[in-house]
Amino acid sequence: MPEFVTLETSDEFPGVGTILLNRPPMNALNRQVQTELAEAALAATEDDSIKAVVVYGGPKVLAAGADIKEMNDMTFAEMSKVAGRLQSGLGAIAAIPKPTVAAITGYALGGGLEVALGADRRIAGDNAKLGVPEILLGVIPGGGGTQRLARLIGPSRAKDMVFTGRFVGAAEALQIGLVDEVVAPDEVYNAAMTWASQFAKGASVALAAAKAAIDEGLDTDLDTGLKIEAHVFASLFATDDRAIGMRSFVENGPGKAEFTGK
């Protein structure tokens, strides 16, 4: 059984899975947490009853970064062997082919922010503090932060955050696009679950296709991105949901289809 990261579901929000980080006091992301996070993300991917995923660290903190004590005595040779695993663990949320949202309360720093960057949406409490302060340790973000942050908020703003290591408050994070919604701290989890629950009865194959087209298209040029879009668009005509959705539209109008996820 996992010790620090669990995948949970509830009757209140059917179809939504919560990946819960629970390593008090600050959810430091040591190697065990990284492994368990990757395992939880894979379980959420493979569970067909889960249609969307929330990643949450509890009411006080998402995660305040990697476990520096664990890294303190590592050599270049040792880190070279595990750096890829670090990226995979902290970036595991990005690999889930379903809508994902990070519910950010308190601090999301270093690896904690990198976990949140892997989500499709970020909802933060108005007391949240976000940042990539690795430069203050003499290193840089190594869990995907330099790449996902720059793609999300642009290279100039990403460089400002990475170069200075400063913390960004919720209001500024919303302004620069680092988070998508700011609510009261005690409303963060509920807001994330509410957003995710709208996909519980959605066309899950089409949602996965949309996510793949956007994510893969952003990693290439426009012409190639358009080819990716054309391919995944055409592939949906082999699904039951496409037939159900179009037939329902013709017979009953928009928004009334009951999809099967196949």
Q: Which of 65, 111, 142, 145 is catalytic?
A: 111
Q: Which of 94, 114, 128, 196 is catalytic?
A: 114
CA distances to 40, 90, 164 from 18, rounded to whole Å, are: 9, 16, 33
The single-letter code of the amino acid at 168 is V
* Angle, alpha carbons 108-32-15 (nearest 5°): 65
Reduced 3-state DSSP string for 169-187:
EHHHHHHHCCCCEEECHHH
Active site residue 114: yes
Closest by CA position to 55, among listed 104, 90, 19, 89: 19
Active site residue 36: no
> Which sign, positive or negative, has the C-alpha torsion 251, 252, 255, 257?
negative
Q: Which of 40, 44, 63, 66 is catalytic?
A: 66
User: Which residues are bridge partners to 104 per DSSP?
Assistant: 124
Residue 49: DSSP 8-state: T
For tokens 């303190």, the residue is 72
Catalytic amino acids?
66, 111, 114, 134
